[in-house]
Amino acid sequence: MHVPKAAGTSINAWLKEHFDEATTATQVEGKRQITEEFLARHDYVTGHIPFHEFAAFQNRERFFKIAFLRDPCAQLISHINWVRCLPSHPIRQHYESMGASQKLVAQKLNQIDLSDATVLEDFLLNLDGMERALFDNYQTRFMAEVEPGVRVTAKHGRLALHTFDSFDFVGVTEQFEDSVEVLCGKLGWDVPDPLAKLNQNSNPSPIRTSSPIHLRILKAVTLYDQALYDTAKARLEFATRGVRSAAA
């Protein structure tokens, strides 16, 4: 499961090297591209696929299920900045492939000053429609079934934590090398040299985690993502200790 702006491009580039190219499918965008037959003839599938869409297929059991989660405030900043920069993206097809409502969000983000805490707060605390689908506890939305325009609630947060256990491995972007080491242990693979960091946005974000005011605003719309992230960190740290103890 590729959660946007959580190092998915980097981990996917490495993972697919372990499979025959004919049996890999990348950039799969949800259930419209997936069938039982599609899953039966592919050994490696990755994309922006919320878990509930993948879980509906019987062939899901043949896959080792992986996800990476990122610090919620960092992920939100990166995702907002990515959407904001899409109209000027050098690969124009990224913007052109967006739906009309997504384009409107991108255009709006280009018209407001997100470095201004008052503007940032007004935007994030009054998300509507597609804005909410993109920026309200976005990582929780991938783990729990949440309608696009619906606000994420405590019920969704509990469902996301329950879904967490359906994955064979959940890594943490900020502990990327530890995550890869533990994942290799689970798969019986050799640990690679440090992986290249791909798909990074060269445009600086106007939102700053160094600003206590900005951070407070960001945390208001990442509450359930934070619970997921804390769970992933705690489990990864436990698994890392186990791998290194076994190797000692």
Within-domain flag for 178: yes
178 token code pair: 């530890």
Cβ-proximal residues to 200 (8 Å cutoff; 6+ apart), any chain:
none
Cβ-proximal residues to 19 (8 Å cutoff; 6+ apart), any chain:
43, 44
pLDDT in tens, the chain (248 residues): 777 777 777 888 888 889 999 998 888 876 677 888 888 888 998 888 788 888 887 778 888 999 999 999 999 999 999 899 887 765 566 667 778 888 899 999 999 999 999 999 999 999 999 999 999 999 999 889 888 889 999 999 999 999 999 999 999 999 999 999 999 999 999 888 877 676 666 688 899 888 899 999 999 999 999 999 999 999 999 999 988 887 76
Within-domain flag for 3: no
Residue with tokens 């945390």: 219
Within-domain flag for 136: yes
- The parent domain of residue 205 ranges over 8-247
Within-domain flag for 78: yes
161 token code pair: 């934590």
Distance CA 178, CA 176 (A): 5
pTM of the predicted model as reported, rounded to 2 decimal places? 0.90
Tens of pLDDT, residue by residue over 28-63, are 876 677 888 888 888 998 888 788 888 887 778 888
Within-domain flag for 1: no
Within-domain flag for 119: yes
Within-domain flag for 94: yes
Q: What is the CATH number of the domain that holds 193?
A: 3.40.50
Distance CA 36, CA 105 (A): 34
Within-domain flag for 2: no
**Total number of domains constituting the chain:** 1
- Would you say 237 and 115 are in contact if contact means Cβ atoms under 8 Å apart? no
